[in-house]
Structure 1
Amino acid sequence: MISKHKQEDNMSLKSGLATLVGKGTYAVLHDVLHRGGTSLPGKLATKIDPNVMQSYAEKYDVILITGTNGKTLTTTLTTRVLREKYADVITNPSGSNMMQGITGTMLTAKVTDKKQRPVALLEVDEANVAAVAKQLKPKAFVLTNIFRDQMDRYGEIYTTYEKILKGIRLFPEATVIANADSPIFMRGDLPNPKVYYGFEHVPATGDMKAPHNTDGVLSPTDNSILHYHFMTFGNQGDYFSVTDDFKRPALNYAVTKLNKLTPISSNFDIDGKTFQIEIGGMYNIYNALAAYAVGRYMGVSVAQIQRAFSSNAQIFGRQEAVKVDDKEVTIVLIKNPVGANQVIDMMKTDDQPFSIIALLNANYADGIDTSWIWDANFESLHDTGIQAVATGGERYKDLYVRLKMAGFGDHPVYQDLKQIVTAIKSMPTKRVYILATYTAMLQLRAELKQQNYIHTGMGE
Structure 2
Amino acid sequence: MSLRSQLAISVGKASRWFLTNFTKGGSSLPGKLALNLDPQILATLSQNYQVVVITGTNGKTLTTALTVEALKEAYPYVLTNPSGSNMRQGIVSTFLNAPKMHQGEKGIAVLEVDEGSLKHVVEALAPDYFVFTNVFRDQLDRFGEIHTIYQLMTDAARKVPTAKIIANGDLPMFHSVDLPNEEVYFGFNHEEASEVVPHYNTDGLLCPKCDHVLAYHLLTYANLGHFYCPECGFERPALSYQVDEIQEEALTHSDFTIDGHPFHLPVAGKYNLYNALAAYSVAKELGLNVEQIRSGFEKAQRVFGRQESFEINGKKVLLNLVKNPVGLDQVLSLIGLDSEPFTLVAILNNQYADGTDVSWIWDGNFEQIKNFPVKAAITAGSKAEEMTKRLTVAGLPAEQIKQVDDLSDVIETIKQSETEHVHILATYTAMLQLREALTKSGYLKAIKEG
- What band does the TM-score fall into relative to the shorter chain? over 0.9
Partner of residue 3, structure 1: none
Q: Per the alignment, in what secondary structure is the counterpart of residue 134 of structure 1?
A: helix
Are 1:260 and 2:268 matched, yes or no? no
Q: Out of 162, 181, 184, which is 1:173 matched to? A: 162
Q: Equivalences for 1:184-223 in 2 at 5 Å? A: 184-204=173-193, 206-223=194-211
Are 1:75 and 2:46 matched, yes or no? no
Are 1:242 and 2:259 matched, yes or no? no
1:236 positional shift? 0.3
Distance 1:16 1:360 in 2: 44
Distance 1:443 1:248 in 2: 41
1:377 positional shift? 0.7
Distance 2:347 2:298 in 1: 31
Are 1:298 and 2:290 matched, yes or no? no
1:16 positional shift? 2.5
CA deviation digits over 1:42-101, x for unaligned, max 9? 222223333210102321000000000011011111111111111111111323211111
Say if 2:50 and 2:106, in contact at 8 Å, map to a contact too: yes
Residue 239 of structure 1 aligns with an amino acid whose one-letter code is: F
1:150 positional shift? 0.4
Are 1:163 and 2:152 matched, yes or no? yes
Partner of residue 321, structure 1: 309
Distance 1:450 1:178 in 2: 40
Residue 129 of structure 1 aligns with an amino acid whose one-letter code is: L
Q: Per the alignment, in what secondary structure is the counterpart of residue 267 of structure 1?
A: strand
CA deviation digits over 1:405-454, x for unaligned, max 9? 11113211123122221122122211111100000000001111111111
Q: Per the alignment, in what secondary structure is the counterpart of residue 412 of structure 1?
A: strand
Say if 2:25 and 2:448, in contact at 8 Å, map to a contact too: yes
Are 1:271 and 2:286 matched, yes or no? no
Residue 459 of structure 1 aligns with an amino acid whose one-letter code is: E
Are 1:424 and 2:414 matched, yes or no? yes
Say if 2:206 and 2:214, in contact at 8 Å, map to a contact too: yes
Distance 1:56 1:43 in 2: 14
CA deviation digits over 1:148-184, x for unaligned, max 9? 0000010000001001111110111100000000111
RMSD (Å) for aligned C-alpha atoms = 1.5
The 10-residue stretch of structure 1 (314-323 or 123-132) with the greater mean CA deviation from structure 2: 314-323
Q: Equivalences for 1:2-21 in 2 at 5 Å? A: 12-21=2-11
Say if 1:199 and 1:255, in contact at 8 Å, map to a contact too: yes
Q: Per the alignment, in what secondary structure is the counterpart of residue 148 of structure 1?
A: coil
Q: Out of 16, 19, 28, which is 1:29 matched to? A: 19
Say if 1:143 and 1:177, in contact at 8 Å, map to a contact too: yes
Distance 2:300 2:415 in 1: 26
Say if 1:358 and 1:435, in contact at 8 Å, map to a contact too: yes
CA deviation digits over 1:251-288, x for unaligned, max 9? 00000001011111011011111101101111100000
Q: Per the alignment, in what secondary structure is the counterpart of residue 232 of structure 1?
A: strand
Distance 1:259 1:330 in 2: 23
Say if 2:69 and 2:300, in contact at 8 Å, map to a contact too: no
Partner of residue 96, structure 1: 85
Aligned residues: 448
The runs of 5 or more residues in structure 1 that have no matched partner are 1-8
Say if 2:66 and 2:300, in contact at 8 Å, map to a contact too: no
1:139 positional shift? 0.3
Percent same amino acid at aligned positions? 44
Partner of residue 231, structure 1: 219
Q: Equivalences for 1:382-393 in 2 at 5 Å? A: 382-393=370-381
Distance 2:278 2:104 in 1: 28
The 10-residue stretch of structure 1 (171-180 or 449-458) with the greater mean CA deviation from structure 2: 449-458
Q: Per the alignment, in what secondary structure is the counterpart of residue 407 of structure 1?
A: coil
Distance 1:381 1:311 in 2: 33
Distance 1:57 1:457 in 2: 26
1:209 positional shift? 3.4
* CA 1:447–1:60: 2 relative to 1, 3 Å: same
Distance 2:104 2:343 in 1: 52
Q: Out of 131, 139, 162, which is 1:142 matched to? A: 131
TM-score normalised according to structure 1 size: 0.94
Residue 439 of structure 2 aligns with an amino acid whose one-letter code is: K
CA deviation digits over 1:307-338, x for unaligned, max 9? 12223623122111112120111110000000
Partner of residue 355, structure 2: 367
Q: Per the alignment, in what secondary structure is the counterpart of residue 181 of structure 2?
A: coil
Are 1:183 and 2:172 matched, yes or no? yes
Say if 1:179 and 1:198, in contact at 8 Å, map to a contact too: yes
1:202 positional shift? 0.7
Residue 287 of structure 1 aligns with an amino acid whose one-letter code is: N
Say if 1:148 and 1:336, in contact at 8 Å, map to a contact too: yes
Q: Out of 375, 378, 397, which is 1:409 matched to? A: 397
